[in-house]
Copies of this chain bind each other. A is one copy, B any other.
Amino acid sequence: MNGTITKDASQMRSSDQIGRLPQPPSPIADDGDENHFCRTCAFASVCLAVGYGKSDLSALHCLVEHVGPFRAGEYVFHNGDPFRAIFAVRAGTVKTSMVDRDGREQVLGFYLPGEVIGLNAIYPDHFPCDAIVLENGHFCRFSFPAMSALAARIPAVQQHLFRMLSKELGAASLLAGDHSADERMAAFLVDLGERYATRGFSGTHFQLSMSRGDIANYLRLAAETVSRVLSRFRSLGLIEIEGRELVLNNPAELRRIGQSLLPN
């Protein structure tokens, strides 16, 4: 699986390979260092806002901690862990999921480089879900008390947090609707593509970092249905897919199919 992941990374970005060993200064949106913040991160504007002044810069260093590397299958946090921080994906991908009393898993979301996990833990004050690494990666850990304090000082930071929370709320309610397997699948693929594009990768040619089962669970379908829909999309020429490597041949048509689940 690691081999696959490495290939993803190289395809998506520049010239990187052989990544079954986690590499500290690694690919995938990881262009930040102590003085330069990751340009494609959801927190970029925060880090930049904070970073205006010298004193703020030190505040940022208290706030942010680079964690990892994590290997596929490892947990960024566990259901029930006390909430102290939110995380931004620096490299790799993550899924969040809950397991209910009966042992049924529910995948809540997939997170790409530049995206943020843990916002749903603020209210209960502990993580309500697990965050499981799908592709080897590492993360920025933002102390939430420190970030709140900073948000009180810097309006842009506060506003950014409000907006991130609100955005996630909107995304959650889109998926809540009543839609066919085709609609869900098309919307899912287009959404993934657009998110990759936002972070500077190809929006039409990328690697699925999650299993069919995880996709199915996330979309509330059976894994077999996901397989069938993907096969049909392929036979219609909408996509090319081999294993987890995916090409969106006709994003416009996919977007049309999935329009009722997509914003705009």
Contact with B along A163-183 (1 / 0, CB 8 A): 111111110110111100000
Residue of B nearest to A154 (CB): B152
* B-chain residues with CB within 8 Å of residue A153 when the two chains form the complex: 152
Confirm or deny: A52 has a beta carbon within 8 angstroms of a beta carbon on chain B: no
Contact with B along A99-143 (1 / 0, CB 8 A): 011101010100000000001111110001000000000000000
Contact with B along A217-232 (1 / 0, CB 8 A): 1001000000000000
Confirm or deny: A17 has a beta carbon within 8 angstroms of a beta carbon on chain B: no
* B-chain residues with CB within 8 Å of residue A104 when the two chains form the complex: 260
Q: For A170, give its contact among B100, B106, B128, B151 (CB under 8 Å).
A: B128
How far, in angstroms, from A59 to B123 measured CA to CA in the complex?
26
Residue of B nearest to A169 (CB): B120
Copies of this chain, whole number: 2
How far, in angstroms, from A106 to B175 measured CA to CA in the complex?
11
Range for the number of chain A residues in contact with chain B: 35 or more
Confirm or deny: A161 has a beta carbon within 8 angstroms of a beta carbon on chain B: yes
* B-chain residues with CB within 8 Å of residue A128 when the two chains form the complex: 170
Nearest CB in chain B: distance from A115 CB, A: 14
Confirm or deny: A23 has a beta carbon within 8 angstroms of a beta carbon on chain B: no
The answer to whether A170 touches B120 (Cβ under 8 A) is yes
* B-chain residues with CB within 8 Å of residue A102 when the two chains form the complex: 260
Nearest CB in chain B: distance from A195 CB, A: 15
A260-B100 in contact given A163-B122, A166-B165 (Cβ < 8 Å): yes
How far, in angstroms, from A108 to B176 measured CA to CA in the complex?
8
The answer to whether A121 touches B166 (Cβ under 8 A) is yes
* B-chain residues with CB within 8 Å of residue A123 when the two chains form the complex: 162-164, 166-167, 169-170
Residue of B nearest to A221 (CB): B178
Confirm or deny: A202 has a beta carbon within 8 angstroms of a beta carbon on chain B: no
The answer to whether A162 touches B148 (Cβ under 8 A) is yes
Q: For A178, give its contact among B106, B122, B124, B158 (CB under 8 Å).
A: B106
Confirm or deny: A259 has a beta carbon within 8 angstroms of a beta carbon on chain B: yes
Among A159-216, those with CB < 8 Å from B are 159, 161-170, 172-173, 175-178
Residue of B nearest to A129 (CB): B173
A-B contact pairs, 8 of them (CB 8 A): A98-B173, A102-B260, A119-B166, A121-B166, A123-B167, A123-B170, A124-B170, A172-B173
